[in-house]
Amino acid sequence: MAERTVRIGSAHGLHARPAKLFTQAAAGSGASVTISKAGGKAVNAASILGVISLGINHGDEVTLAVDGDNADVVLEELSELLLTDHDE
């Protein structure tokens, strides 16, 4: 299992549009991926409702955990999505 903590780059946090991009990428990765906000419970990163329910705002730190084939590659791709400001 690979893990990484990243800071959210989208100016308005992980709301509908960036959450959709992220959850689609997580679902399409073929790996088991979870996301958690600092001190919170981990949710399935492929679930848009689960991700939005975390209330992740700009600058919040989240931890991604990836289990499966190419976990490091998947972790890198998903981290880049979270670091990018999709609100520009």
Question: What residues are labeled active site?
Answer: 15
Contacts with 27 (C-beta within 8 Å, 6 or more apart), sequence order: 46
d(CA 65, CA 37): 12
| Cα angle 86-61-57, degrees, rounded to a multiple of 5 | 50
